[in-house]
Structure 1
Amino acid sequence: MKTITVDFVRHGQTIFNTMNKLQGWADSPLTKAGIATADQAGQLLKNVTYQATYASDLKRAMDTAQHILQPNAFTGELQTDTAFREVFFGSFEGLDNDESWQTVGQSLGCQTQAQIIQKYSFEAARDAMHQADPRQLSENGLTFKRRVDAGLQRLLSRYADQDRILVVTHGTFIRSLVLRFGPQFDVLSSFPANGGVTTLQLTTANPGFDGLVTSYNRLS
């Protein structure tokens, strides 16, 4: 059996975040506050020894990772992996967050994404958005889960027992991990914060892998 520790960090605040816009594969730059948050996360993690560092291939995550790594002794190359991208919101990309989820949740009698997850499941929220998407572009639950699992499995296969990895990623991505591997944390009323650190222990299992979230949304 092999166990690795992965620190998942949500990117710093972006322009779309300040506008309450859905931001999945669409991208917008970090704000000044977002850069400051990334630097703060870097100070929090500066004494952590990492065997590898990753970011999603979206610019907001890569820029955040560069700021986090500046004070760290890590000398390797920052790698990117599309598996660690945010959920793809399809035709809802760039639209108002609250209005979009009211539209998506209408058929389920829900007003927000959190209500859909609480009443049904995280996968149901993804499926509902896919069905409400007029172009059917947004990721459904199974597609998203397979993508995430592929990324986690790659980390487990590449690194040795007790290695520690940094992954700079996105809010809904982190929320999905906590719902799955950290049910003791209230991720529905406290969305992952920009620059927040969530730690997941990944362990090989037969078949696949298992996980345990040991800390959520750490900012200090």
Structure 2
Amino acid sequence: MLLSGSAMAQLQDNGKGSVDIYFVRHGQTIFNLYDRVQGWSDTPLTQEGEKVARQFGAGSKDIGFKKYYSGDLGRQRETLSLIMQSQNSQAAPKELKALREVFFGGFEGLPNNEMNTAAGKALGLKSDSAMTELRQQGKMSLTELADAISKADEKHDAETAGQVRDRMQSALGMMVKDALQHHDKNVLAVSSGMSIGIMISDMTNDPLKNKGMGNAAAVKIEYRDGKYQVKDIGDMRYVEAGKKIIDAADAKRSH
């Protein structure tokens, strides 16, 4: 899909060349496990979160990443470190503040259902569970959700969808430009689920963009001679492949 409007302001045509950017959601964290709001607030990965990061690393090793990026949140940094360890990469990772998750303002650290209920009320939804149900069904766009959260935040600090999209797409454009300059074909970026979804909100019509992404799920963005195309939203194939590789290695060591 060709980009238009505000997206074109962030995603510049960097000219001839091709590069694939793989955006990956971080591994499971304590707040993920406890179902609490986690934007710029941060908790460490659980054991399951560490495992799924290693699985993604093992399963995606053959892609041959040349550059590695993450946001500056601990869970993003930790996920990238485990991925690189699994790939025996000696590259120097780069941190970009722009790759952070959405900032949820006064809702940070609260149960997710409290934020969903407040956002639903801001949109005029009748029941407390309506927003949660719409989110689970993929019937609520992430941009509409983010703007509802921002509107409902009594602290008036939560980011709008436009703010998140602009910073994420700006980071994407920068990564593409750098990759083209250095002739890198494959780049990995660890970010967070909602910010990734908002980044691609005006880049594709695929309804999967509004579904929640699993931990260590991937979205592939192809750049080809000035055009961006979103592929494989919420892709878990690399985690699944990595699990098989690690399980086989563990079985071999046990014999």
After TM superposition, the score normalised by the length of structure 2 is: 0.76
Contact 2:27 2:75 in 1 (8 A): yes
Secondary structure of the equivalent of 2:231?
A: strand
Look up the match of 1:97: 112
Look up the match of 2:97: 82
Superposed, 1:17-166 pairs within 5 Å as: 17-110=32-125, 111-112=130-131, 115=134, 118=139, 121-160=141-180, 163-166=185-188
**In 1, Cα distance between equivalents of 2:22 and 2:133:** 24
Report the more deviating stretch, 152-161 or 60-69.
152-161
1:87 positional shift: 0.6
1:114 positional shift: 7.2
Contact 1:12 1:64 in 2 (8 A): yes
Is 1:202 the counterpart of 2:217? The answer is no
Give the structure with the larger helix fraction.
2
Contact 1:43 1:71 in 2 (8 A): yes
Offset from partner CA, 1:83-106 (integer Å, 9 cap, x none) = 111011111111111221111111
Look up the match of 1:169: 191
**In 2, Cα distance between equivalents of 1:215 and 1:149:** 16
**In 1, Cα distance between equivalents of 2:144 and 2:52:** 32
1:108 positional shift: 1.5
User: Cα–Cα, structure 1 residues 42 and 112, in superposed 2: closer, same or farther, change >3 Å?
Assistant: same
Contact 1:4 1:159 in 2 (8 A): yes
Alignment RMSD, CA only? 2.2
Contact 2:168 2:196 in 1 (8 A): no
Which contiguous aligned blocks of 4+ residues in structure 1 show a shift greater than 6 angstroms? none
Look up the match of 1:213: 231
Q: What are the ranges of 5 or more consecutive residues in structure 1 without an aligned counterpart? A: none
Offset from partner CA, 1:5-57 (integer Å, 9 cap, x none) = 01111111110001100100000011111111111111111222112000110
Look up the match of 2:246: none
1:124 positional shift: 2.5
Contact 1:2 1:162 in 2 (8 A): no
Aligned residue identity for 2:59:
L
After TM superposition, the score normalised by the length of structure 1 is: 0.88
Look up the match of 1:183: 205
Secondary structure of the equivalent of 1:128?
A: helix
**In 1, Cα distance between equivalents of 2:234 and 2:18:** 19
